[in-house]
Structure 1
Amino acid sequence: MSSVDNTPRWLAVAALAKIKDGAYSNLQLNQIINQHSMDRRDINLLTNMVYGVIQHRLTLEYWLKPFVRHPHQLDPWVHELLLSAVYQWQFLDKIPQRAVFNETIEIAKVKGHPGIRRFVTGVLHQMDRSGLPSFDAIEDADERLSVMFSIPVWLIQTLRDQVGDAKMQSIIASLNQPAKQSLRVNTAVSDLADVTSALTNEGLTVEPSEISPLGLVVTEGQAVTTEAMKYGMFTIQDESAQLAVAAMDPQQGDQVLDACAAPGGKTTQIAAMLDADDGGEVVALDIHANKVRLIGQNAARMHVADRVAATELDARKVGEEFGDQHFDRILVDAPCSGLGLIRRKPEIRYEKQLSDSENLQRIQLAILTATAPTLKKGGIMTYSTCTILQQENQDVVDQFLAAHPEFELIKTATKQNLKADRTTDTLSIYPDDYLSDGFFIACLRKK
């Protein structure tokens, strides 16, 4: 085995080629990290390079274009190798250009034939001599923004229409910042103070979330490898994602439906607020058997399995299974385009189209419509998504209410009184508001 086979730079290039071919970035990275023994510094470089190239792909392609006449004729790994070289050169200021170029040429030499080595060497030297093209050369303003921030033009235009130009620019500028490492304390077995001291004792640095009273943000160290995580004192969950269950406000003896539950983050949050001795239970649905198992495993790790009934069922068929007025609370954390998660899953930006949101809207409405009869009078149904587009958020709520006069919209409440001056009863959190995931929450009460 040659020396380049285990370097973070080559592993990043290999991962990027697979991700471009359809693999998920987070799964691909986890697989590589598990298969190779790397120290923390190498893991950080590998992760930074993979996410960095994906995040900035449109920018990097624009810079590379003048130097590669027929990019589609290149082997995928050679293309990713060149993009990763440009990424390191332009975005990683601690690595000298000479080191980046030398290692890139070495990888080309070992992995390819002499022609590939000569080609890669020539491209890098020509870039160095003539410099990279300026964004100012792009005449169309939206296309320029698209290339600068690596955000597709359709998303820029849709956001501008919905939130205005200044907010759109603020959102897209925030999306390439690193995602925070946040977690939710499991109140079934612990509290904020205990988790903070447990993690501090394991050498991590944490601070309380400004968004969620159950949230902590890790600024130094890896929470996922700690003993506290193994024991189920907390789970990894974005700060915004913790708000939907809190807004629904389940009581100890409630019968709760989590209609789209996998992998079970919100299910276990609901369950921690219930008391099995008081009859409290959350019925957690997913359409796939393997995901139902995952919900069960999460419930067991978080010590709430006695309050969770993980069930394989399409949420659109819930009426056949449970009948009318069965649940005190319903959470519909609906399948969505996930555009609020771009910081965590950077490839989403290139995979989605506006038509995806319009198609999902029909599914979201169908789930709300199917679950509505199973809610008791006076009960609350909370609708949430991790997207930032009106088509899947406010529009869905408006259409549901128009067809269901027995429901009324009540104001989404948060313990930290977020966006107190907003004019809407629903709550939209954009990725630039608190540097958390984009999220939408609406609370609907059955009259």
Structure 2
Amino acid sequence: MVNIKQSPRNLAVTVLERVINKQAYSNLELNQIIQQAKLSVADKHLLTNLVYGTLQHRLTLENWLKPFVKREPVPWVRELLLITLYQYHYLKRVPDFAATNEAIEITKFRGHGNQGLRKFVTGVLHAVLRSDWPDLTTIEDPIEQLSLTASLPLWLTKKLVDENGLLEAQKIGKAINDPARLSIRANRQKGTVGQITDQLAMEGITTIPSQVAADGLIVTKGDLLGSQAFRSGLVTVQDESAMLAVEAMAAAIDLKTANLVLDACSAPGGKTGQLAAQVENGKVIALDIHQHKVKLIKKNMARLGLSDRVVAKQNDARDLTFLADQTLDAALVDAPCSGMGLLRRKPEIRYQKQFSDSQQLHKIQTTILDAVAPKIKKGGIIIYSTCTILHEENDETVVAFLTTHPNFALEKTQTARALKTDRATKTLTILPSDYGSDGFFIATLRRKN
């Protein structure tokens, strides 16, 4: 007999209710639930699929549900209905009757036998099954159609179309709803990519080389987090696009001979470790505003075998008075941003952010760059990066910085795999639709001699 309390569908309701109420991030809440519940591998996969799938397609599912719900249900009932609709349309291997029956059982369990709730859920689901999936192609307005098919708020859909054109925006809309890949970075401190690939294979972890980042690998099979290779710091989990910021710095300056490099916004330390593995004779100063995140950086550096090269410090990157002017060979400013390049991994962001958030973040980003600029030596480098694809936080932040800092010049960002070298811009924007990785932006700023 199915334990309803511990069933993937019931647990998915719990996760989604907390995420939608902004009480938790989807990835963190999901990981916590998986650690607490004793689930089979298949049930873990189903739970993950239900959570991310329902979040990714939320606006589409709400559009389908709307005609069948005359009054707003309580939050957990709404999430249960959306999860069930997601299974009807997107999970072809799950029979409709199985999804329906368990939804009714969950209603009995959560509603403590409330007959009114049970009848409501049963009636809605049976009515939905008698209807057809809405034909969204009949929507004449291309912006509205894309908004519903990709499940993107209208304001964000308009921004993506304005900045990228309708065709590219449609590609982005499709890409962000594809499953995210598990990508890892080989730790140069502990071996070559080839050596580490072989070690992973010995533990039953199959990988393929990243087409995006030179040290990147895509895990296709195996328990990475339970492996000795992970525990001993041979690899770290990091998106392929995120690895490019350090690649860009290495292309612009000789990191082997650098004395002092700053990672201004470093937690949890993925890029810090990537930097430290290449700064052979110097130090990396890693900053974060929160003490618990500084502890996380230190823990990650210890696992990677790089503690002796990293000084982790609790500090606001907008105030760098502890550093003397012109003491840094380079600085990485992976700035706070709206995260709109991470929609594949954190799908709820699209529903929680507004355009005003980007405008406010733009101000914070320029303030950080203003603080970093005088600390850079002549001829030194600032790598400015974000995990968003919105112009306000990317190119417009760079333009604002250069306007007030004429002693810096924008150089063309280079990567190890020479990505998008035929682009017209000096800055590099990786869209989620380009390589199946996260959306990312990088600018290379050199202080003039």
Q: TM-score, normalised by structure 2?
A: 0.96
Distance (Å, rounded) in 2 between the aligned partners of 1:373 and 1:78: 55
Matches within 5 A, 1:283-322: 283-318=285-320, 320-322=321-323
- Number of the residue aligned with 1:161: 162
Letter in 2 for 1:296: K
Q: 1:173 to 1:2 in 2, by over 3 A?
A: closer
Letter in 2 for 1:259: A
Letter in 1 for 2:310: V
Distance (Å, rounded) in 1 between the aligned partners of 2:19 and 2:163: 31
Distance (Å, rounded) in 2 between the aligned partners of 1:170 and 1:33: 32
Letter in 1 for 2:105: E
Distance (Å, rounded) in 2 between the aligned partners of 1:144 and 1:416: 36
Q: 1:315 to 1:29 in 2, by over 3 A?
A: same
Q: Cα distance, 1:270 vs. partner?
A: 0.5
Letter in 1 for 2:158: Q
Distance (Å, rounded) in 1 between the aligned partners of 2:346 and 2:131: 34
- Number of the residue aligned with 1:115: 116
Deviations 1:24-43 (A, max 9, x none): 11111111111111111000
**Aligned: 1:179 with 2:183:** no
Distance (Å, rounded) in 2 between the aligned partners of 1:69 and 1:116: 14
Runs of 4+ in 1 over 6 A off after TM superposition: none
- Number of the residue aligned with 1:15: 15
Greater CA deviation, 14-23 or 280-289? Answer: 14-23
Mapped contact 1:224–1:236 kept (Cα < 8 A): no
Mapped contact 1:328–1:375 kept (Cα < 8 A): yes
Letter in 1 for 2:397: V
Q: Cα distance, 1:140 vs. partner?
A: 3.5
Matches within 5 A, 1:42-57: 42-57=43-58
Q: Cα distance, 1:115 vs. partner?
A: 1.4
Distance (Å, rounded) in 2 between the aligned partners of 1:126 and 1:83: 14
SS in 2 for 1:274: coil
- Number of the residue aligned with 2:98: 99
Distance (Å, rounded) in 1 between the aligned partners of 2:422 and 2:237: 30
Greater CA deviation, 425-434 or 222-231? Answer: 222-231
Q: Cα distance, 1:313 vs. partner?
A: 1.1
Distance (Å, rounded) in 1 between the aligned partners of 2:140 and 2:383: 45
Greater CA deviation, 190-199 or 60-69? Answer: 190-199
| CA RMSD, 1 decimal | 1.4
Greater CA deviation, 58-67 or 101-110? Answer: 101-110
Matches within 5 A, 1:4-403: 4-22=4-22, 23-71=24-72, 74-112=73-111, 113-136=114-137, 138-249=139-250, 250-254=254-258, 255-275=260-280, 278=281, 280-318=282-320, 320-403=321-404
SS in 1 for 2:438: coil
Distance (Å, rounded) in 2 between the aligned partners of 1:387 and 1:130: 38
Matches within 5 A, 1:407-418: 407-418=408-419
Mapped contact 1:49–1:87 kept (Cα < 8 A): yes
Deviations 1:183-209 (A, max 9, x none): 001001122112211221222221000
SS in 1 for 2:188: coil
% identity of equivalent residues: 52
Q: Cα distance, 1:138 vs. partner?
A: 4.0
Mapped contact 1:8–1:43 kept (Cα < 8 A): yes
Distance (Å, rounded) in 2 between the aligned partners of 1:136 and 1:240: 33
Distance (Å, rounded) in 1 between the aligned partners of 2:141 and 2:419: 37
Q: Cα distance, 1:98 vs. partner?
A: 1.3
Q: Cα distance, 1:174 vs. partner?
A: 1.0
Distance (Å, rounded) in 2 between the aligned partners of 1:384 and 1:50: 29
Q: Cα distance, 1:253 vs. partner?
A: 3.5
Distance (Å, rounded) in 1 between the aligned partners of 2:71 and 2:145: 23
Q: Cα distance, 1:137 vs. partner?
A: 5.5
SS in 2 for 1:321: coil
Deviations 1:296-335 (A, max 9, x none): 11111110000000011111111x1112110101111111
SS in 2 for 1:115: helix
Distance (Å, rounded) in 2 between the aligned partners of 1:418 and 1:160: 23
SS in 2 for 1:99: helix
Distance (Å, rounded) in 2 between the aligned partners of 1:148 and 1:251: 45
Distance (Å, rounded) in 2 between the aligned partners of 1:56 and 1:207: 29
What residue ranges of structure 2 are gaps of 5+ in the alignment? none
Greater CA deviation, 101-110 or 76-85? Answer: 101-110
Greater CA deviation, 215-224 or 40-49? Answer: 215-224
Distance (Å, rounded) in 1 between the aligned partners of 2:372 and 2:173: 35
Distance (Å, rounded) in 2 between the aligned partners of 1:164 and 1:16: 32
Letter in 1 for 2:415: T
Distance (Å, rounded) in 2 between the aligned partners of 1:376 and 1:214: 28
Distance (Å, rounded) in 2 between the aligned partners of 1:352 and 1:26: 17
Letter in 2 for 1:445: R
Distance (Å, rounded) in 2 between the aligned partners of 1:443 and 1:41: 44
Mapped contact 1:212–1:242 kept (Cα < 8 A): yes
Mapped contact 1:232–1:303 kept (Cα < 8 A): yes
Distance (Å, rounded) in 2 between the aligned partners of 1:185 and 1:263: 17
Distance (Å, rounded) in 1 between the aligned partners of 2:222 and 2:15: 24
Q: Cα distance, 1:116 vs. partner?
A: 1.1
Mapped contact 1:253–1:281 kept (Cα < 8 A): no
